[in-house]
């Protein structure tokens, strides 16, 4: 297997995932997975597509991610990993689709409007 490149997005986070055969090394912006995502739940989100495969041992993963927050970045990486794995093995598509790994969450922050406190909230009303 040569290198497979896929992109994942969530809110304003964009992750570029490179998947190649290897020993299971994960590199996120030049740092290790445990260093980049200190919380166990975030690491579980990132590695969720590999739970179906039974581990990361067969792949080296190089990830470049920017924008958004930590949680959005984790979900963007999950989408990129799932897309890269499906590109290599098409028979994974139904499993990943049913688990929701291939669905791009298109929700973004709504812009603030003029004359309002936020996107929809009004300024405080004063009767007198």
CATH placement of domain 1-97: 3.30.230.10
Q: Is the pLDDT of residue 19 over 70?
A: yes
Categorize the per-residue pLDDT at 13 as very low, low, confident or very high, splitting at 50, 70 and 90: very high
Q: Nearest Cα to 67, choosing from 1, 8, 13?
A: 13
For every residue of 38-60, DSSP letters joined together read: -SHHHHHHHHHHHHHHT-STTEE
pLDDT of residue 1: 59
pLDDT in tens, 37-65: 999 999 999 999 988 777 777 889 999 99
Q: Specify the pTM.
A: 0.90
pLDDT of residue 52: 78
User: Mean pLDDT, the chain, as a whole number?
Assistant: 93
What are the sequence ranges of the domains in the chain?
1-97
């Amino acid at each position: 297997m040569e290198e497979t490149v896929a992109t994942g997005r969530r809110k304003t986070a964009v992750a570029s995932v490179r998947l190649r055969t290897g020993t299971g090394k994960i590199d996120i912006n030049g740092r290790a997975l445990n260093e980049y995502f200190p919380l166990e739940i975030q690491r579980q989100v990132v590695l969720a597509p590999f739970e179906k495969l039974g581990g990361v041992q067969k792949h080296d993963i190089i990830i470049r991610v920017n924008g958004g927050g930590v949680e959005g970045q984790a979900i963007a990486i999950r989408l990129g990993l799932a897309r890269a794995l499906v590109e290599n093995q098409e028979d994974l598509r139904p499993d990943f689709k049913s688990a929701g790994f291939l669905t791009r969450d298109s929700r973004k922050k709504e812009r603030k409007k003029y004359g309002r406190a936020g996107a929809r909230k009004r300024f405080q009303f004063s009767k007198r």
